[in-house]
Amino acid sequence: MLHNRPADHAQPGVEADLAIIDPGYEYVLKKKDIHLKMNSDSFSLRAEKDDVEYVSTGNFCCPVAVKNSEADYENGLLLINIPLVDPWDNAYDVPIH
């Protein structure tokens, strides 16, 4: 199950939280079983246990600060804190003639 919960301030420069629940309800996954990769616009999650593989991907609505992201896994719940980046920070100012 995948939950995308926006931060309290739904504006660029804040953060979003992503929570993923271990579907086994028995906390069968260990931290070493979970592989999370992120780009500035998307993520890939893979978890393996015995002969079962869980794979999920998703896109972010705004660019994220990948290197400032954090993830914690405890009691079957993977919480990922993802800082958002203002998409206009490096925007090109088009001259108008």
| pLDDT tens digits, one per residue of 6-18 | 443 334 445 666 6
Tell me the helix, strand and coil percentages in the chain, rounded to 5.
5, 50, 45
Confirm whether pTM is higher than 0.95: no
Residue 69 in any domain: the answer is no
Residue 13 in any domain: the answer is no
What domain range is 39 assigned to? 32-61
Residue 49 in any domain: the answer is yes
Residue 24 in any domain: the answer is no
Residue 53 in any domain: the answer is yes
Tokens 């919480």 found at? 79
Q: What is the DSSP code string of 28-65?
A: ---GGGEEEEE-SSEEEEEEEETTEEEEEEEE-SS-B-
Which residues partner with 33 through β-bridges?
Answer: none
Per-residue confidence (pLDDT) for residue 94, from 0 to 100 = 95
Number of folded domains in the chain? Answer: 1
Residue 38 in any domain: the answer is yes
What is the number of residues in the chain? Answer: 97
pLDDT tens sequence across 20-73: 766 665 657 888 889 999 999 999 999 888 888 889 899 988 888 899 999 988
Residue 41 in any domain: the answer is yes
